[in-house]
Amino acid sequence: MALPAPYQQLVQAFDALPGVGPRAAARLARYVIDDPQGDALAAAITRARAELVLCQHCYRYALTDTCDICAAAHGQQPLFVVAGVEDSERLTGQGMSNQFLLHALLSPVAGIGPAQLHLPQLRARVVNEAISDLKLVLPAGVEAEATAQFIMDMLADVDVSISRQEVNDGAP
């Protein structure tokens, strides 16, 4: 007897997540179905998807089109470009709140190009705000190098100083 379609669909949805294979997907599906906390997880996912948007200035998760950090910041230098939410939170905790969040790195294999990273918007922000100092705080690796090089090439005609700093084990 085949498993019910809703169960199979849930397993497939978990399996589609990065870093989750079929066995882990099945465990997660059983957890969501069997555990009383599964309802809380489902509610949290539903609420996050309904209420969160990307700040149209820095691309952090926010409740409005402009996050609280961007609403309070004016003309801060430098601008830090980070790949992930965790890196953004870490820098913000260190007082470096003027950021642009990519949410990923260029990866043609995964179908992630400049538009998915909002790189045209990054260029517009650098130009419109006359950013003179751009810090690329990205992890080590080929995709990060390609992303950094793309950004440097994209801004080659703009008067901006660009430096690269690797993030290792969560520490810039």
- Strand residue runs (E) in the chain: 53-54, 61-62, 79-82, 99-101, 133-139, 161-167
Rounded to whole angstroms, the Cα distance separating 125 from 78 reads: 12
What are the tens digits of pLDDT across the range 9-53?
999 999 998 889 999 999 999 988 888 877 888 888 899 999 999
Burial group, residue 67, by CB count within 10 angstroms (0-12, 13-18, 19+): buried
Domains of the chain in sequence order: 5-51 (1.10.8.420), 72-167 (3.40.1360.10)
> Count of alpha carbons within 13 Å of 98, Cβ hemisphere only?
15
**Tokens 């989750």 sit on residue:** 20
Nearest CA to 117 out of 102, 137, 101, 135 is that of: 102
Model confidence at 109: pLDDT above 60: yes
Nearest CA to 111 out of 143, 141, 148, 139 is that of: 143
Residue 172 is predicted with a pLDDT of: 56
| pLDDT confidence tier of residue 163, bands split at 50, 70 and 90 | very high
Residue 142 is predicted with a pLDDT of: 93
pTM recorded for the entire structure: 0.83
> Count of alpha carbons within 13 Å of 145, Cβ hemisphere only?
3
Percent of the chain with pLDDT over 70: 95
**Tokens 């465990």 sit on residue:** 27
Average pLDDT of the chain to the nearest whole number: 90
